[in-house]
Amino acid sequence: MRKILVTGAAGFIGHFVGERLLARGDAVVGLDNLNNYYDPTLKDARLERLAGCHGFANFTFVKASLEDQAAMHALFDAHSFDGVVHLAAQAGVRYSLTHPHAYIDSNITGFLNILEGVRAQREKLGLCIASSSGEKSVGNIGSDGLGFGPHLVYASSSSVYGGNKTLPFSEDQEVDRPVSLYAATKKANELMGHTYSHLFGIPMTGLRFFTVYGPWGRPDMAAFKFVKAILAGETIEVYNHGKMQRDFTYVDDIVEGVIRVLDNPPAAEPTSGRDFAFEKLALHRVLNIGNNHPEPLTEFIAAIEDALGIKAKKKFMEMQPGDVPQTYANTSALQQLTGFAPYTPLRDGIKRFVDWYRSYYG
């Protein structure tokens, strides 16, 4: 039995990841601070699914905030993890315009505490080697080219691509011009992850999620807001006059990708032919995980209307600050690594979400 830390375990994606890990026989330690960014009762209900209704006995919940350094130190001191799936973060592009400090606290300081926790675990396990000078180093790589200690899989975002016009978005594109603070923090996570991997030999994978939707989703996300408003007979706000396209990705596909990536830690690659002054690259990579099929926002709304059997009242509006007009994931790297690429058609996923919404909220 492996023990996996899942941060954001009461969150939309996190509770599904925890469920999958438990179902296959892993032990899961779930971390969440249960904040009130949105309705905490929804988070409590997700936790109940993990802790009770499926009869899983190997789930342990820890209530703590990522930015609480003492709590994070205690977590890694109390457990030895075989893998870490870091999904907890302050989400939302528009919220970052009005609450910037929340993003620095959770997404920067919090991620640093995760990195330090994994680093401390490696040191606790004695995963270090002696250098020729007699000094100790923890930045080692095994003879098979793999790092030691837990594989850290963390959530990045398609937001890092900012205003890039070349589609589909590929992992080798420049991502130095974010258009929201949220995106900037996710880009910072990728840089921090590479640095810690290079210095301390920690195997890491950052996953750039593309517009995730599905049952148990967040109330601040489009599918949730549109369904709620349409059922109440209220007007929905359609930004950029409906001229947006998103690579909508169903949550089950995201979870499948996360699990497969977790089971395939990166190996060290030689730097021959690359402009890098060290013998091997860091055990760090970033991968897109999206549906590889952008849909117009108007089609997204039409799918909801058809699933509900109700026409939406629409108010067309300008593009909002921090938004981008289109996202589109190239998932060839993910498919080559894992043999999997997201595939759920939009209308199938929307129907499942609407069915869940009506069941959960009556």
* 37, 103, 182, 250: the active-site residue: 182
Sign of the alpha-carbon torsion through 56, 57, 63, 65: negative
Indicate the residue type of 26: D
> Which pair of tokens denotes residue 67?
């930015």
Give the rounded distance of the alpha carbon of 356 from its chain centre.
Answer: 22
Give the rounded distance of the alpha carbon of 159 from its chain centre.
Answer: 12
Q: Is 182 a catalytic residue?
A: yes
Indicate the residue type of 99: H
Bond prior to 168 in cis (omega within 30° of 0) = yes
User: Taking phi first (over 0 means left), then psi (-120 to 50 degrees means alpha), and beta for anything else, what does residue 322 get?
Assistant: left
Strand pairing report for 235-238 and 313-316: parallel
> Which pair of tokens denotes residue 265?
């830690």
> Which pair of tokens denotes residue 124?
């606790």
Indicate the residue type of 285: R
> What torsion do the CA atoms of 199, 203, 208, 214 make, to the nearest 10 degrees?
-140
Is the Cβ–Cβ distance between 87 and 13 less than 8 Å?
A: yes
Q: Which residues are the active-site residues? A: 182
